Amino acid sequence: MHLVLTLSLSHRGEALKCYTCMGSNNDDCNRQGSKSCPSYSDACAVVVGHDSGVMKSCSYKSFCSQASSQGYRAPGVRVHCCYSDDCNIKSFASPLPGFSFWLLSFLLLFEKKPLTRCSLP
């Protein structure tokens, strides 16, 4: 028991490393490198804006949980979090061109309810 507690405490002493940068795209951002996070950070985040580029930083699991459960409310912005050293090197949050249109189309095509027609008087 003592050994397990000691190992978990020593592991927690190591700071998480995340890419911390802002850039016009993923490669531009990554050139700025990764850094050790403050001891209270427990996640790495990637925020991608449709026209505003990429931001990567140290973050918190609570922010990530809130972003995924409630959705990030800014249009055209995607957030991705991960929990290991330098895991935010890739921009998983990259928006896909026309993604909303294709998602809506997919949902409409495979919806099980029949479409109803409105008749004009």
Q: What is the CATH number of the domain that holds 91?
A: 2.10.60.10
Cα angle, residue 41 at apex, residues 37 and 45 outer, rounded to 5°: 85
pTM of the predicted structure, to 2 decimals: 0.63
For 47-90, the pLDDT digits (tens) are 888 777 899 999 999 888 887 776 656 677 788 899 999 999 98
> In the chain, how many domains are there?
1
The answer to whether residue 80 is domain-embedded is yes
User: Environment class of residue 110 by beta-carbon count within 10 Å: exposed (0-12), middle (13-18) or buried (19+)?
Assistant: exposed
The answer to whether residue 57 is domain-embedded is yes
Domain assignment of residue 64, given as a range: 14-110
The answer to whether residue 95 is domain-embedded is yes
Phi, psi at 51, each rounded to 5°: -115, -5
The answer to whether residue 119 is domain-embedded is no
The answer to whether residue 39 is domain-embedded is yes
The answer to whether residue 20 is domain-embedded is yes
Comparing 6 with 93, which gets the higher pLDDT? Answer: 93
